[in-house]
Structure 1
Amino acid sequence: MSLHKGPRTGGAEPDGLSMNPFFGPADPVGGMAEAPPRHRLPDTPMAPHAAFQIVHDELMLDGNSRLNLATFVTTWMEPQAGRLMALCRDKNMIDKDEYPRTAELERRCVAMLADLWNAPDPGQTVGCSTTGSSEACMLAGMALKRRWARRAATRKEGGRYPEGARPNLVMGANVQVCWDKFCNFWEVEARQVPMEGGRFHIDPQAAAELCDENTIGVVAVMGSTFDGSYEPVAEVCGALDALQERSGLDVPVHVDGASGAMVAPFLDEELVWDFRLPRVASINTSGHKYGLVYPGVGWALWRTIDDLPEDLVFRVNYLGGDMPTFALNFSRPGAQVAAQYYTFLRLGREGYRAVQRTARDVARSLAERINALGDFELLTRGDELPVFAFTTAQDVKNFDVFDVSRRLRERGWLVPAYTFPPNREDLSVLRVVCRNGFTADLADMFLGDLRELLPELRDQIAPLDRPAAVATAFHH
């Protein structure tokens, strides 16, 4: 079933696409003289240049991705990376026996990430590429649940496993929506630590108190999408260590490092959040976020082969070869994996450090200058992820963050405005994501546009009406 509505009726929209006469007359072999329909397949072919121009012109109505300060996703790569991706876009990643070199690049990327995240034995670390960090989270959650089921079966035989027990996963209320999806799809109870006061992510002690013998794991986030802050992974592990000493419960931790796992290793080397913590069983990241690759590619890694249950690994005789796989998706292009390997080779540790430092410097500078305007209050300052959130100052009554977001969109800037989850639904904020390609010059332009809009916003009598629970372009 498609969630997209069919064509509008009642004459509100013509069924045929507009055809510019400059696209040329019908080609004797593959053209058409009249406009193609919008919502059904044309009866005849169209000349390739005409089809290209129609699609090209319609896509012009999308926002400019370089001015999109909502998305974490990479919006610029070098042309050399683009050429490599073009060479690999017809290679199916699932056909590892047919494209062994592409599969080898994937294996090398996993090894590089294992080393970057301080795995005790990178050679024994298992992992794979995915279509994004959301799929990687699903895989990690499945592994946690399967390991819990094995432990639960053992307890049941010993008479300590209650009938009808439901597995649960502990996390902060600030997690990305993919974790809600995981709990829904795989029938796991989501136990969320709510936000409180000025704490916008998980509280270690509160997380430990939610754990019981049916807890499959605790999720800690390296870089909250709500405000860009790191969650205290080491403190979460410490609280769970204390829980194990008191109760015997051994609860593993998964680190959702969608963004921060590609920032902290380069800019916050002293911060212990990764496989240096024995309780961390698995980590995921988005190659297409601060991994600096076009969408979509993610990565999921487990500390050792024992942390990924063997019964989740499928060994299939597919197109003439024995192929072990544990990703959810099968067919997908090898282009993003090749681009990730290119970027690892191209930048190395020092290159990544320079890119991420620049992004953080831009975020910090822009946050401070917005704070100096006097109309806003900072929640975060871009000193963890190159991301910061801010709200209107307490004495500002005549406009709100949704007004600011709307007016910035008129200038081409996409800045999300949204309300925080329980127990801070009273707080609405704007969030700015500074990525590679959002330069200091662009930050100056953004600040200049914001300054120019403020006099009109200050002259408003009150914030404009808007639909309830509206959130503007909130991206993970």
Structure 2
Amino acid sequence: MPLHNHKVIIDDLFTTEAMAKPLNVHRISRKERNAEAVYQMIHDELLLDGNSRQNMATFCSTWLEREVHELMEECIDKNMIDKDEYPQTAEIESRCVSMLSTLWNAKECTNHAATDCPPAIGCSTTGSSEAAMLGGMALKWNWKARRIAAGKPYDKPNLVCGPVQVCWHKFARYWEIELRELPMEKGKYMSSPKDVIAHCDENTIGVVQTLGTTFTGHYEPVADVHAALDKLQQETGLDIPMHVDAASGGFVAPFMHPEIKWDFRLPRVKSINASGHKYGLAPLGCGWVIWATEKDLPEDLIFRVNYLGGQMPTFALNFSRPGGEVVAQYYNFLRLGYEGYIKVQEAAFAAARYFAAGLEQFNLFEFINNSSKGLPLICWKLKDDATPPFSLYQLSDGLRERGWLIPTYTLPPNCEEIVVQRIVVRHGTSVDMLSLLLKDFKEVIAELTENPPLNPDKKRTSFNHS
């Protein structure tokens, strides 16, 4: 049979009619399309995204074991909220809550019927932002209940915190709470006990401390603030609870810095949120919130529904959501244990130290954090006496052309004039990979020095297709 007989030859995908013209991407088409062709077009469009492994800005997991990929595929149809239909997935979530409660030193109860020892309680969420908001809501509801019981007004709640992630700004705006975010000072990039106490009053629903700030990676002084709040109560009678935003540090400190008291060992810490999809090593879409005891989660925030089969309590903001991320988190807990998590985090810190040593050789940068004061994160600025013919923004642009995303940003008030860069070293970021990044740093710095930009102070925004 002649090869030129097109009637019997299977068309190459890229020669089919479906691939002959661009898609109308702003309206649903009238006709259906070939599945393979649509997949190929979307697949090819996604090639225009950056390489997540070169995204040094993100705290989120960008490398996952093969077994996690397989479990995610097996769980693609599991709805986390439907505990009647998927009881084993619900049981796995419960086991994870128990493991985290133990990891964060919640008071253990051998007899859950004992009134003096209520067990910890918690749930999975779509991320740490949702978990933080749940913790904040519980603080507000409990504060309101105390105010009502005392016959006092409850219309002016406030929340005291150091430099926080944007989710806390959202929480304050959405729930009409005054956010008393303490300003930074040069050389002091987190809250201090003295500043926290100065901003607390009878309308303070709680104090938030961050274990690994987004801006610089520092652990805030949770235990010192706790002690200051104890003293405040002795002097004024104000009994102010704490919430710890451990989005990243909650899966680092227990393994790398167990001597630091930041968790439920401190009685004022009523709730903790963390991102499973960051240093917990789960895929994107996994967060956790744990309360020290059942009484710390107000009953008013719990809804009970029966229209999915059985009687089911729910207190997350989202309802239907995938169960795969929780199953993958459980896999990591079983797979790694303490020994494995210590190895993983030790490797991240070792890689961070390697990068910091390499960066130091340029004699241009001053470290805000060289990974010795919290997370395996390197944050730096230009030295005060450094006068390169380019800005950090332009250095970021040059590195972006080589595929690297190195965030450049200003610090919060009162340090807006300080421009910094940062890399987050996480699981899958190898020393070899960082050696290539340092090589590109060297080449980009040389290029910018040899051909200085016209405006070395020009700020650049993130690239997008808009």
TM-score, normalised via structure 2 length: 0.92
Query: 1:78 corresponds to which letter in structure 2?
Result: E
Query: Which residue of structure 1 lines up, in the alignment, with residue 43 of structure 2?
Result: 56
Task: Name the counterpart of 2:405.
Answer: 414
What one-letter code is carried by the residue in structure 2 that aligns with 1:356?
Q
Does the aligned pair in 1 maintain the 2:390–2:457 contact within 8 Å? Answer: no
In the alignment, the residues of structure 2 paired with residue 34 and residue 235 of structure 1 have an alpha-carbon distance, to the nearest angstrom, of: 64
Where does residue 103 of structure 1 map in the other structure?
Answer: 90
Q: Which amino acid aligns with 1:337?
A: V
Paired amino acid for 1:374: N
Q: Alpha-carbon deviations, 1:379-408, whole Å to 9, x = none? A: 101122011101112233322211111111
Kept after mapping to 2: 8 A contact 1:416/1:472: no
Counterpart of 1:181 in structure 2 is: 170
Letter aligned with residue 388 of structure 1: I
Counterpart in the other structure of 2:446: 455
The 1:119–1:463 alpha-carbon spacing in structure 2 relative to 1, beyond 3 Å, is farther
Are the equivalent residues in 2 in contact too, given 1:391–1:428 (CA < 8 A)? yes
Are residues 1:396 and 2:391 paired? no
CA distance in 2, matches of 1:92, 1:446: 40
Sequence identity, in percent?
Answer: 52
What is the CA distance between 1:203 and its match in structure 2? 1.2
Cα deviation digits, residues 283-327 of structure 1 (max 9, x gap): 010000000011011000000001001111111112221000100
Please give the secondary structure, in 2, of the residue aligned with 1:300. strand
Task: Establish whether residue 128 from structure 1 lines up as the match of residue 128 from structure 2.
Answer: no
In structure 1, which of residues 114, 128, 137 is the aligned counterpart of residue 132 of structure 2?
137
- Quick one: distance in 2 between partners of 1:207 and 1:461? 43
Match of 1:332 in 2: 321
Aligned partners of 2:70 and 2:378: how far apart in 1? 34
Q: How does 1:218-297 map to 2 (within 5 A)?
A: 218-297=207-286
After superposition, the C-alpha distances for 1:56-96 in whole angstroms (9 at most, x for unaligned) are: 11000100001110000100111111111111111111100
In structure 2, stretches of 5+ residues that fail to align are 1-10, 113-118
CA contact (8 A) 2:125 2:287 kept: yes
- Counterpart Cα distance in 1 of 2:264 and 2:454: 51
Residue 60 (structure 2) aligned to one of 73, 81, 85: 73
- Judged with a 3 Å threshold, the aligned counterparts in structure 2 of structure 1 residues 184 and 420 are, in CA distance, closer, same or farther, namely same
CA distance in 2, matches of 1:402, 1:396: 15
Distance in 2 between the 1:25 and 1:471 partners?
40
Alpha-carbon distance, 1:372 to partner: 2.3
TM-score by length of 1: 0.90
Q: 1:151 aligns with which of 146, 158, 161?
A: 146
2:420 maps to 1:433: no
Amino acid at match of 1:430: Q
Aligned 8 A contact 1:402 1:472 in 2: no
Deviation at 1:22, TM superposition (A): 4.2
User: Residue in 2 aligned with 1:442?
Assistant: 433
Residue ranges of structure 1 left out of the alignment (5+ in a row): 1-19
Match of 1:44 among 25, 31, 43: 31
Checking the alignment, whether the CA contact within 8 Å between 2:13 and 2:19 is kept in structure 1 is no
Q: CA RMSD in A?
A: 1.7
Q: Give the letter aligned to residue 120 of structure 2.
A: T
Paired with 1:189 and 1:175, the residues of 2 have a C-alpha distance of 14
Alpha-carbon spacing, 1:303–1:410, altered in 2? closer, same or farther (3 Å): same
Q: Which residue of 1 aligns with 2:116?
A: none
Whether contact under 8 Å (2:206, 2:240) holds in the other structure is yes
